[in-house]
Chain A
Amino acid sequence: MAEETVLHHPEIETGHEPFMPADEFASNSPMKVSYGKMMMWYFLLSDAFTFSAFLISYGAIRMSNAWWPDPNHVFNAMPFMGHRKIPLGFVSIMTFILILSSVAVVLAVIEGHRMNKKGVLKWMLGGIIGGAAFLGCQAWEWAHLIEEGLRPFYNPFGPDEKGLTHLVHETLTKSPGPVAFGALFFGITGFHGFHVFTGVCLNVWGFFATLSGKFEKVGHYEMIEKLGLYWHFVDLVWVFVFLAFYLL
C-alpha cells in the first residue's frame, strides 16, 4: 500500500534544453508575485465584491426611503463625556485608530523585509492593539445605539416624535424612522467588524509565528505581507462604510 513519491520543483528540474523560445515567461507569474500573494489578491477582489453588493444594497434601500436619519444626530455620543453632543466625534476616533493600526502593520512589513524579527514583533503588536481597540469602540457604539432603542427591526430615529405615518396597517409595530436603518447599520458594520475580528486573530497568529522564529527559518516574512494586505483591505472597506453610514 505504502508508496513513495518524490516531488521535485519544476524550476530546478528543467531548463537544460538547447533552445527555449519565450522562456522569459516560463514558470513565472506574469505579475511577478508569488502564488500566495496572488491568492490573497484574488480573495480580496472577491471580498470587495461582497462588500460592494452590501453597500449598493444600502444605497438602493436608502434611496427608496423618502426620509433618512441624519448621521450627525444619530452618531453624536462620546464615552465619558456625559450628554455632551459631539457629532461624529467618536467614529472619527475609531477611524483614526484603525488607520494607525494599518500604519503599524506597514512598518511591520518593512521590518520584515529587513529581516528584523524584533521590529516585526513590535509593529505587529501595535497593529493588533489598534484592531482590538477598534473592535472595542465598535462594541461601545453598538451598545449605546441599542440602549437608544435601535434594533434590526426598529428605528427610533424618526423625523418627529409622533413617528412616520407612511405605514400600512394597524398591526404594525410603529417605528418612528425607516426600519431598514438599523438592519443595514448592524448588518454591514457587523460584517465589517467580523472581518476586523478575523484580521486581529490572523495577526495574533502572525505575531506568535514570528515569535517562534518560523519566518526567520523560512528566510522571508512574506506571510506578514499577506496579513498586511488583508489588514489594509479591511481598513479600506471601513473608509467606504464610514462614507456610506456616517458622512452621506
Chain B
Amino acid sequence: MEQTIEKIATADHGHGIGHHEEHHHVETFINKYIFSQDHKMIARQFLFTGMIWAIIGGLFSVLFRVQLGWPDATFPALEQLFGNWFTDGKLDPNAYYMLVTMHGTIMVFFVLTAGLSGTFANFLIPLQIGARDMASGFINMLSYWFFFASSVVMFSSFFVSGGAASGGWTIYPPLSALPQASPGSGAGMTLWLISMTLFIGSTLMGGLNYVSTVLNLRTKGMDLFRMPLTVWALFFTAIIGILSFPVLVSGVVLLVFDRTLGTSFYLSDIYIAGKALSNSGGSPILFQHLFWFLGHPEVYIVILPAMGMVSEILATNSRKPIFGYKAMVFSILGITILGFIVWAHHMFMSGMNPFIGSVFTLFTLLIAIPSAVKVFNWLTTLWRGNIRLNSASLFSIGFVSVFISGGVTGIWLGNAIIDVQLHDTYFVVAHFHIVMGIAAFFGMFAGVYHWFPKMFGRFMNETLGYVHFFVSFIGSYIIFWPMHYLGMSGVPRRYYSFKEFQAFSQYDDLNKIISMGAIMVFIAQLLFVANFVYSIYRGRKMTKDNLNPWQSNTLEWTTDVEPGHGNWKGAIPTVYRWAYDYSKNPTGADFTPQNVPLTEEELANESKKH
C-alpha cells in the first residue's frame, strides 16, 4: 500500500508518469478492518468511535439533568448502576461536576470534532474530489489511532481515584492546576491533559492530510470552484484545526508545568485551607486567552462540516442549484478568518479593558454577516424547490431552524454590555447548545442518513428516521427554549442545586420539564443507534441499478455499491461542471452529474465567455 501511495506521490511530482505498472495488493483482515489505510474504513472507524462517545456523553447529560430536575428525589437504581457516583441514591456533587465537565469535553472534542469532521472529511474528500485516497494513507491511519489512544486514556480517567477531570471543559486554572482544588483535579486532570495532547496530534495529522488532498489530488476538471460545498467546508475546517489547536498545545504545556514542576505561569497569591502557596506572578487570564484562541475557532470546526453537508443535501433534495455558490464559499472563508479574532468575547467578565471588549464585540457581530448569508442561501435554495422530504433533508431543514434560533441569541451575547448580565447563566447554555450542539448534531445526522448507502451499501429505515427527527427537533426546543428564560432571570449555570437560592428554586418546574425533554431526546438517539446498527446488517440493499439513489451530482455516486480501496475500478471520472446542475440545466435532465461532458450549447456558451 505504502508503495502505491509513494507511486502516486512521485507521479504527482512529475517523475513517475510513464512507468505505469499494475500494482496488486492483497488485503488481510488486519489491514482491511483494523490498521486500514483506506479513507473509507478510517471514516467508519471515526464514526463508530464517535457514536460510542456520543452515547456516553449523552448519558452523562441525562444523569446530571436528573439531579437538576428532581433535586429532592433519590434513585437507588442509579446507585446500583454507577456505584459511588451516587451516594444514597443521590448524585454526589463532585460526580456532578465531573459529569458536566466530561459531557462538554466528550461532545465538543470526541463527538463533534473527531466523530463529525473525522468521519466526513475522511469519507467525502477523496470521493467527492475524485481521488484514490488521502495524500498519505499512513498518516491518515495514525490520525485515527491517535484518536483511539486519546479515547482510551480519557475513558480510563473515569476509573482513577478522584474520578475524571471536573473543572469544566475549559479547564481553567487554578481549579485545574491544583490537585487540592477538587478530587477531579488530581489523576483525572493529568489523564485529561495526556488524552488531549494525543487528540491534538490526531487532529493535526488528519488536518494536514485533508488540506493537501484537497489542494493536490483533485481529478481532471475539478478546479477549486467546482468542488462541492462539503469539500470547501471540510477544507477550511482542517485549516482552522491546524492553526488553532497548536495554541492549545502551548496552553496545556504550561499548565502541565504548573502542575508538575512548581512553575507559576497561571498561579499567583493562592491560599488553600488558610495556607498560602508559594506560587506568585502568574495569571489565570493568560490561560483563558490561550484556551479560547483554540476554543472559539473550535466551534467553527464543529459547525462548518455540518454547514457544508447541509448545503449539499438541501440542494440535492430541493432539486435546485445551491443559491449563491460563491457567496457560500466566501462566507465560509469569512467565518474562518473572523473566527480567529473574536476569542475574547468569552472573557468579557474577566476584567478586560472595556475598549478591548468593544473591539471584540465588533468582530463578533461581524460574524453575523457571513452566517446570515449562508442562512439566506439555504432558505433561497429551498424556496420553490421540488422538495423531497427524507430523513436527511428533514435534519438539514432542522439544522437551518436551530442555526437561526441559536444564531440570533449569539448577537445578544456578542455585545459586551448584554453579556455582563447574561454571562454564565443558562442563557449561554441555551445559546451554544442550540447553535453548535444541536445544529452540528443535526448536520451529522443528515450526513449519516444521506451517505449511509455509500458507507454500508444499505439504506437506513426512513420511518424510524422520521421519528428520530421529530422527537429530536421538538425535544431540543423543549430542553433549550426554557433555558433562555432561566438565563434572563439570572439562573447561573454549573450549579449543583438551587435549593438554597430562593430566587432560582422557583423555577424547579421548568427544570423538571427540561430534564424530561433531555431524557426524551436521549431515548430518540438510542432509536437512531438501533436503526443504524440494524440497517448495517438488515437495511434495504443498494443495488447496481440504483447507484445514485438521491439523484445527486457529486462524484461519490459514480462508484460501485461498495467501492474497494482505490474508489473507482477503472479510470477516475473527469469533471466537466460544478456539482449543482439540478432541474433547469442545458442537458434537459432533472440533474446532471459532474462527470457528464458539456453539451454543444454549453460549449458554445463557454467559448463565448473566453
Residues in A lying within 8 Å of B, measured CB to CB: 1-15, 17-23, 25-31, 34-36, 38-39, 42-43, 45-47, 49-54, 57, 60-61, 64-65, 152-153, 167-173, 175, 178-180, 182-183, 187, 191, 218-220, 222
Contacts and interface: CB of A to CB of B under 8 A. Distances in A.
A26 B79 CA distance: 61
Contacts of B16: 9
A27 B575 CA distance: 11
B220 A6 contact: no
Interface stretch (B101-109, B151-159, B566-574): B566-574
A27 B26 CA distance: 28
Given A168-B280, A220-B13, A10 B264 contact: no
Given A10-B132, A13-B571, A27-B217, A53 B9 contact: no
A172 B264 CA distance: 13
Nearest to A51: B250
B15 A36 contact: no
B12 A11 contact: yes
B221 A34 contact: no
Residue among A51, A169, A182 having the largest count of chain B Cβ atoms under 10 Å: A169
Given A35-B217, A179-B281, 9 more contacts: A14-B574, A23-B221, A25-B223, A26-B221, A31-B215, A35-B135, A42-B207, A183-B261, A220-B10
Given A4-B25, A7-B565, A169 B136 contact: no
B246 A47 contact: yes
Contact of A38 (B15, B216, B251, B281): B216
B211 A183 contact: no
Interface string B147-167: 000000000000000000000
B547 interface: no
A60 B132 contact: no
Interface in B565-601: 565-566, 569-576, 597-598
5 contacts: A8-B572, A28-B216, A35-B135, A53-B249, A54-B254
Contacts of B405: none
B337 interface: no
A18 B264 contact: no
Contact of B216 (A3, A35, A61): A35
A11 B571 CA distance: 10
Nearest first, the 10 A-B pairs at minimum CB distance are A53-B250, A183-B263, A25-B223, A50-B246, A153-B262, A26-B220, A35-B135, A13-B571, A35-B212, A38-B212
A26 B242 CA distance: 25
Contact of A57 (B12, B29, B286, B565): B286
B566 A8 contact: yes
A20 B212 contact: no
Given A10-B572, A38-B212, A180-B264, A171 B276 contact: yes
A21 B604 CA distance: 12
A4 B261 contact: no
B123 interface: no
B247 A61 contact: no
Interface of B: 4, 6-13, 15-17, 20, 22-29, 32, 130-133, 135-136, 139, 204, 207-209, 211-213, 215-224, 226, 239, 242-247, 249-251, 253-254, 257, 261-265, 269, 275-276, 278-283, 286, 289-290, 293, 564-566, 569-576, 597-598, 603, 606
B136 A50 contact: no
Contacts of B279: 153, 179
Nearest to A181: B281
A27 B10 CA distance: 13
A39 B207 CA distance: 9
A2 B606 contact: no
A11 B17 contact: yes
B286 A61 contact: yes
Contacts of B245: 46
Given A14-B220, A22-B223, A5 B564 contact: yes
Residue among B8, B217, B221, B276 having the largest count of chain A Cβ atoms under 10 Å: B221
Contacts of B250: 50-51, 53-54, 57
Contacts of B571: 8, 13-14
A2 B26 contact: yes
B349 to A, nearest CB: 19
Contacts of A17: 220, 574, 576, 597
A3 B22 CA distance: 15
A124 B279 CA distance: 45
Nearest to A57: B286
Contacts of A53: 246-247, 249-251, 290, 293
A6 B21 CA distance: 10
A222 B13 contact: yes
Nearest to B207: A42
B212 to A, nearest CB: 4
A9 B11 contact: yes
A19 B379 CA distance: 35
Given A26-B219, A219-B15, A35 B136 contact: yes
A168 B219 contact: no
Contacts of A27: 12, 216-220, 222
B269 to A, nearest CB: 5
Residue among A46, A50, A153, A171 having the largest count of chain B Cβ atoms under 10 Å: A46
A19 B263 contact: no
Nearest to A17: B574
Nearest to A168: B269
Contact of B204 (A9, A22, A46, A219): A46
Contacts of A220: 10, 13, 15
A25 B22 CA distance: 27
A18 B133 CA distance: 26
A5 B32 CA distance: 12
Contact of A6 (B6, B23, B239): B23
B9 A34 contact: yes
A19 B597 contact: yes
B194 to A, nearest CB: 17
A27 B254 CA distance: 42
Nearest to A170: B276
A8 B25 CA distance: 12
A241 B463 CA distance: 61
Given A20-B574, A183-B257, A65 B281 contact: yes
A191 to B, nearest CB: 7
B536 to A, nearest CB: 19
Contacts of A28: 216
B85 to A, nearest CB: 36
Contacts of A2: 26-28
Contact of A9 (B8, B25, B213, B278): B8
Contacts of B15: 218-220
Contacts of A22: 221, 223, 226
